[in-house]
Amino acid sequence: MAESGTHSESLDKIRDESNSEASERLDHRLLGPVIFWLAVATSLVHLYFNTLSTLSELWTSALHVGLFGLICTLTTPMVKTASPGAQRWVLGVDVVLGLLALGCAFYLMLFEDALYQRGYTFNTPDWIVSILAVVLVLEFARRTVGWFIPVLCVIALTYVAWWGQYVDGIFNFPGLSWETVLYRAYIGGQGMLGSIARISWTYVFMFILFGAFLVKSGAGEFIIELARCAAGRFVGGPGLVAVFASGLMGSVSGSSVANTVSTGVITIPLMRKSGFPARFAAGVEAAASTGGQLMPPVMGAGAFIMASYTQVSYVTIIGVATLPALLYFLSVAMFVRVEAKRSNAVSLNEEATPKLAEVLKGGWHFLLPLVVLVAALIYGYTPTYAAGIAIASVIVASWLSGNPMGLRDILDALAMGARNIVTTAILLITVGLIVMVVSTTGIGNTFSIMITNWAGGSLLVTIVLVALASLILGMGLPVTAAYIVLATLSAPAIYQLIAHGQLVDLIMSGNLPEQAKAIFMLATPDKVGLLNGPVDHATAVAMLAAVPDTFSNQLLEQALSPATLSMALVAAHMIIFWLSQDSNVTPPVCLTAFAAAAIAGTPQMRTGFTAWKLAKGLYIVPLLFAYSPLITGDIPEMLRVFFFALFGIYAIVAGLEGYLEHPLNPLFRLLSLAVGLLMLWPHGQVLFDSAGLVLFILLFLWSSRQGRQSPTVGGAAA
């Protein structure tokens, strides 16, 4: 467990550097135990909420806000100060604010019937409590994630109640009374207590708590050792260990920064020792850890929010997310292999690489909770109930090891889980206000129409616009919030374009269902005969454009099956979800890269650009979601796209790096890029894919032969 201690020390160091006074509170002789037992109680209460509770969702969401508001005020001071007297004064104010947050929840619970009877007509206490609840949540958000989200919420709320009526054009909104806005924001169970809050206290809390129990049981060390077994002996083994360890850790924690600091303290020094440049080592860890939120079964908070938005089961979402996640991690591994050949990085020696049998013998029980979790989901249990069973299985599995979890370990895991979710819980609760504004004003549909008009009906241009929006939002919003905002605003536009693309394919092939042809008989009766046989793309697009917008949704429902439409919606959300991750590795705000740079001792911005280069899969794979059946197809189609995309991305990596098995001159770099595009281009022709694969294999064999004949000297700069 020595390495687990190192991980904990790294987390503490980062926490201490960001807020030393918060650390002092956690370690305080009197306040520390209070925070500890409050966190334990909060976890137990939430376990009750998700298993045995019969409380209404409104009460549960209100208590969720109150409890985490209290923990937030106790762990994150309102202001930083070095004066002991001022610290006591700040603590007193923080305690009062935390108790007020809890008091707002009790007010709603005690007077719920009277509140609903009054409705939008407030008395004085209603005004005080609703305003106080909103102000407190905005203050909690400021403490945890900065000013951007609170300012965005204030702009959104005032738009609804005040200045929206003065905006000309499509964004004009006549306005609602402040009573209506505050009622929907808090008392009415929308906004702060709406669907996003429910996701927070159900899926997100349970799986973060599950990850806390796994980490406390010692699974983190086992995951790293397992990755060393799997990849340690290959070329660039230490770099591959970082990639696969982050993938395995991410499947549990779903947090990119947590992945970086937990695995990076081992993998980054290991990579540097084997010969990788320091900045590249940090970039690999950051890029690989970013994939933690892409890897099932947890996928951070995004998978649960996606399930709620699309009404597609969580099991289906993690099922279709598996191949793309593997594609991302393998793309990072390709950069590692190329750099290993260029830098002459060595693999782990036989003594340093643990034996698989020994690792499994000492830690096979850590796999049981994951097996239990997946089995419970497949069997039909809800994700929250499955997570509860998996948490219990962690404790039971630990009893099969030499370090069984005792009562103190269980309490520590409960406290760790509650403290780990504070930022995420406050974030989701606050973003609920923005979602409420979007749904109230209909600005989401307006924004989607605007994007569609800007893009001129082009799916590619729409994706580029969303990618730019995600980058801008990511400078001020964490990835979860960026995904929620973008999904609310732009998912309908992307969904419509993907579905219309599938409809065009049906028209081109002549396979349009008869009930859908009836709509064309009304819109273009002179061209109905073309629907019976193959037509070119331009003709199909022209025929579809002739259908009035009022019949658009009906046409989609008649032409495409409900399952096809559902998966098109999942593809739209998956595109946004992947693009929202780029703020982790894209300067100027790339927290994952900054955390890796702190471990490697490299410049933050330069490390950020290196991580951004290595995370190119974040931009390539979403294009496959849009233009190929990687998500929307059947299993053979998905596997075919995955297979050729794997080699296509490798060719792209070689072209970008100018190195395969030996240095490539500009002509062969262009050839490698062209071959990669041939395998990635959405032509749907296996013959072209196969031709690209053959050309890449020939290029690889030739480069390998050249590399053996003239060994290169590594020249990558740290």
Check whether residue 543 and residue 622 sit in a common domain.
no
The C-alpha atoms of residue 70 and residue 83 are separated, in whole angstroms, by 23
Residue 116 domain-assigned (yes or no): yes
The C-alpha atoms of residue 644 and residue 680 are separated, in whole angstroms, by 7
Check whether residue 621 and residue 555 sit in a common domain.
no
Check whether residue 85 and residue 150 sit in a common domain.
yes
Check whether residue 563 and residue 705 sit in a common domain.
no
Do 554 and 593 contact (CB within 8 A), yes or no? no
Check whether residue 520 and residue 470 sit in a common domain.
yes
Check whether residue 604 and residue 652 sit in a common domain.
no
Residue 689 domain-assigned (yes or no): yes
Check whether residue 215 and residue 84 sit in a common domain.
no
Residue range 475-489, pLDDT digits in tens: 666 677 778 888 888
What's the predicted TM-score (pTM) here?
0.80
Check whether residue 608 and residue 649 sit in a common domain.
no
Residue 611 domain-assigned (yes or no): yes
The domain total for the chain is: 4
| pLDDT at residue 12 is higher than 90 | no
Q: Retrieve residue 357's tokens.
A: 């049998």
The whole-number pLDDT of residue 348 equals 57
Check whether residue 643 and residue 627 sit in a common domain.
no
Average pLDDT over residues 215-239: 73
Do 246 and 262 contact (CB within 8 A), yes or no? no
Residue 217's pLDDT band (cuts 50, 70, 90): confident
Check whether residue 658 and residue 605 sit in a common domain.
no
Residue where a domain terminates, one of 538, 557, 578: 578
Helix axes 219-231, 256-274, angle to 10 degrees: 40
Kindly list the distances between the CA atom of residue 651 and the CA atoms of 193, 660, 692, in Å, as whole numbers in the listed order: 48, 8, 10
Contact partners, residue 432, CB within 8 Å, separation at least 6: 190, 191, 192, 193, 194, 195, 196, 197
Residue 413 domain-assigned (yes or no): no
Do 435 and 484 contact (CB within 8 A), yes or no? yes
The whole-number pLDDT of residue 653 equals 95
- Weakest mean pLDDT among 70-74, 507-511, 574-578, 632-636: 507-511
By residue range, what is the domain housing residue 520?
442-578
Residue where a domain terminates, one of 157, 175, 193: 193
| pLDDT at residue 2 is higher than 50 | no
Kindly tell me the burial class for residue 708, based on how many C-beta atoms sit within 10 Å of its own C-beta (0-12, 13-18, 19 or more).
Answer: exposed
Alpha helices (H) along 546-685: 552-559, 562-579, 591-600, 604-614, 617-627, 635-657, 666-680
Residue 411 domain-assigned (yes or no): no
What is residue 79's three-state secondary structure?
Answer: coil
SS3 content of the chain, % helix, strand, coil (to 5): 80, 0, 20
Q: Retrieve residue 244's tokens.
A: 């696969």
Residue range 189-208, pLDDT digits in tens: 889 999 889 988 988 888 88
The C-alpha atoms of residue 472 and residue 490 are separated, in whole angstroms, by 15
What is residue 533's three-state secondary structure?
Answer: coil
Residue 252 domain-assigned (yes or no): yes
Q: How many CB atoms are closer than 10 A to CB 456?
A: 8
| pLDDT at residue 239 is higher than 90 | no
Helix axes 314-343, 237-253, angle to 10 degrees: 160
Check whether residue 170 and residue 101 sit in a common domain.
yes
Cis peptide before 587 (omega within 30 of 0): no
| pLDDT at residue 528 is higher than 80 | no
Residue range 545-587, pLDDT digits in tens: 878 777 778 888 888 888 899 999 999 999 999 998 887 888 7
Residue where a domain terminates, one of 193, 217, 243: 193
Check whether residue 564 and residue 589 sit in a common domain.
no
Residue range 367-391, pLDDT digits in tens: 888 888 878 877 878 878 888 998 9
Kindly list the distances between the CA atom of residue 165 and the CA atoms of 159, 171, 551, in Å, as whole numbers in the listed order: 8, 9, 31
Which among 178, 138, 147 has a CA at the least distance from the CA of 160? Answer: 178
The C-alpha atoms of residue 150 and residue 226 are separated, in whole angstroms, by 42
Which among 513, 521, 576 has a CA at the least distance from the CA of 543? Answer: 521
Q: How far apart are the first and last CA of the chain?
A: 32
| pLDDT at residue 82 is higher than 60 | yes
Contact partners, residue 679, CB within 8 Å, separation at least 6: 644, 645, 647, 648, 651, 689, 692, 693, 696
Residue 423 domain-assigned (yes or no): no
The whole-number pLDDT of residue 1 equals 35
In angstroms, how far is CA 691 from the centroid of its own chain?
A: 35
Residue range 241-287, pLDDT digits in tens: 778 877 777 666 656 777 787 778 778 887 887 788 999 999 999 99
Residue 304's pLDDT band (cuts 50, 70, 90): confident
Do 693 and 644 contact (CB within 8 A), yes or no? yes
What is residue 663's three-state secondary structure?
Answer: strand
Residue 429 domain-assigned (yes or no): no
Contact partners, residue 507, CB within 8 Å, separation at least 6: 531, 535, 540, 543, 544
Q: How would you classify residue 657: left for phi > 0, otherwise alpha for psi between -120 and 50, otherwise beta?
A: alpha
Do 467 and 582 contact (CB within 8 A), yes or no? yes
Half-sphere exposure (Cβ direction) of 524: Cα atoms closer than 13 Å: 18
| pLDDT at residue 591 is higher than 80 | no
